[in-house]
Amino acid sequence: MPVIRSEYNPVVKTADVKPSRPDFKVLGAFNAAVATYGDETILLLRVAEAPISEREDELLTPKLNEATGEVEVVRVSKDDPRYSFADSRFVAENGKMVMLTSMSHLRVARSKDGYHFTVEDTPAVFPQTALEAWGVEDPRITLIGDKYYITYSAASVRGVGVGLAETSDFRTFKRHGVMMAPENKDVMLFPEKIGGRYYALTRPVPHSFGAPEMWIAESPDLLHWGNHRFLMGLRPGAWDGGRMGGGAVPIRTDRGWLALYHGADAKHRYCMGAVLLDLEDPGKVVARSTRPFMEPEADYELNGFFGGVVFSCGALLIGDTVRMYYGAADEVMAVADIPLAEVFDTLSYEKPLA
C-alpha cells in the first residue's frame, strides 16, 4: 500500500500565517513538530519571516539586537562586491555565511481533525538570547509524563546549537537554555527512560573533517548530556549520501525503536527513510532503510522556497499507520499516511551500514 498524501495538502500555507510585525512577510510555515493535546492535534510550526523591501537593488535582513531584545533590519546592497547572494537562504562573505535572509520563530497551530489547522496570530517561542539571534527553527516535541519537551535549533553567529523548552498546555512555555552547543541540530528526545536514562538522537556537524551524521547521547535529567556515541553515517551515492538527521521522535514498536530520518543526496534532494534501534540499547542499529519510503513528488514538494524537499519533524502512530507531518519545499506543511508495514519494508536487517 503506497504513501497516501492528504487531499487537503498543503495543510498550512504561508497565506494562513499572520506576520509577527506589519513590515515583515511570511516566507514559509514548515518543519513543524506535532503532538496531541486533549482532542487537538498541535503543530509547532517553524515560521520564517523577512523584512519587506521596496527596492530591487537591496536586501533587508533581520537580526536580534542582543541588548534590547528587539529585531532590527539590516540593509544590504546587492551590488556590494563583498557579498554573495547565490543561496536565497543566506548572505555569504568570503565563502562564509554572515547573515540569514529570514528569521524563524515557533508558532502554534491547532486542529480538531488533524487536517484543518488554525494558526495562532502571535509567536509561541521567539528568539530571545544572543545564541538565538538568527532565529529558532525545526522543533521536535516529546511527551514525557505530563510535560511536552521541545527541542529546537538555535541559530546565531556562533553557529547552530540546540535549545530546550517545555510546556504543559501549549500556551505558556518554560525555556531551559542551550541543551547542546554548536554545531548540532535535528535533536529529539526518546519518549521514555531506557535503563533509567533519558536518550536523545543528535546530529553534530564537524567542520574540520568528518560529516553531518547521526549520534546518540544520554542524560540523567534532560539537562546534562554525555556518553555521546556515533550511531550511523552517510552512504555515498545513496539517497542519504549527502547529509542526514533525525526527523520524528522515535516510536516504540515490538521490533524496536522506529526513528524516521531525513536524508539528502549530493543534489540536495531530501527524502524520508527510517532506522530501527534496539529497545534496550538504542545506540545499536538493528535495521535501516535501503530506500526512502517517501520522496518529493507532489508539486508543493518539488516547488517552493527550496524545492525537492520532504522533511519531517513529527509523526503520530495511529493503529498500524504512521501519520507523518512534514515540511515541503521549505515553505508549507503537509501530511501523509504511511502504513507501518511499508516503512518496515524499506528496512534491511542484514548488517545495516552504520
Cα 46 from Cα 136, distance rounded (Å): 8
Q: Which cell is 144 given?
A: 514525557
* pLDDT confidence of residue 176: 96
Residue appearing with cell numbers 549530493? 266
C-alpha cell at 123: 509567536
Distance (Å, whole) CA 311 – CA 246: 10
- The residue with cell 546592497 is 77
- Residue 168 is assigned to a structural domain of this protein: yes
For residues 19 and 25, the answer to whether their CB atoms sit within 8 Å is yes
Question: pTM of the prediction?
Answer: 0.94
CB environment 96-135: b (16+ within 10 A), e (fewer): ebebbbbbbbbbbbbbeebeebebeeebbbbbebebbbbb
What is the pLDDT at residue 350? 63
Residue 170 lies in a domain: yes
Give residue 277's pLDDT.
98
205 in a structural domain: yes
pLDDT at 352: 55
Range of the domain at 173: 4-18+26-49+102-348
Q: What is the CATH number of the domain that holds 169?
A: 2.115.10.20
pLDDT of residue 209: 86
Give the integer Cα–Cα distance in Å for 162 and 156: 11
In a domain, 192, yes or no: yes
Could you give the maximum distance between any two Cα atoms of the chain, in Å? 59
What is the domain count for the chain?
1
Instruction: Classify residue 68: in a domain, yes or no.
Output: no
Is 96 a domain residue?
Answer: no
Q: How far apart are CA 108 and CA 123, in angstroms?
A: 7
Say if residues 301 and 271 touch (Cβ distance below 8 Å). no
Helices H / strands E in the chain, number of each:
2, 27
Specify if 178 maps to a domain: yes
- The answer to the question of residue 193 being in a domain is yes
Task: Of 254, 258, 283, give the one whose Cα is nearest residue 272.
Answer: 258
Mean pLDDT, the chain cut into blocks of 10 residues (354 residues total): 92 97 96 98 97 91 89 92 88 88 97 98 95 96 97 95 98 96 97 98 91 96 96 95 95 97 94 97 97 97 94 97 97 97 92 56
